[in-house]
Amino acid sequence: MIAEIDYKVAEVLGLPEALADIARQLAKTMMERRLARAEEARPGVLKGTEEPLTSREEA
């Protein structure tokens, strides 16, 4: 279904369908790379802070 949308957008913009395929593959590759670098978030800790954040209920 996403491919169909990509093809329709390419058609409206006057671009070849092959470009839609390339763009979709590039987006997929970028997403996979981003997910590969992602690490599980540590609850309550914001990057750059030295102490864990506390909620208003805890304070």
Cα separation, 22 vs 6, whole angstroms:
10
How many angstroms separate the first and last alpha carbons of the chain?
A: 48
DSSP string, 17-52: HHHHHHHHHHHHHHHHHHHHH--PPPTT--TT-SS-
Q: Could you read off the pLDDT of 19-37 as tens digits, one per residue? A: 999 999 999 999 999 888 8
Q: Could you read off the pLDDT of 6-17 as tens digits, one per residue? A: 899 999 999 999
Overall size of the chain counted in residues: 59
Task: Quote the pTM value.
Answer: 0.54
> What tokens were used for 29?
């590759």
What residue spans define the domains of the chain?
2-37
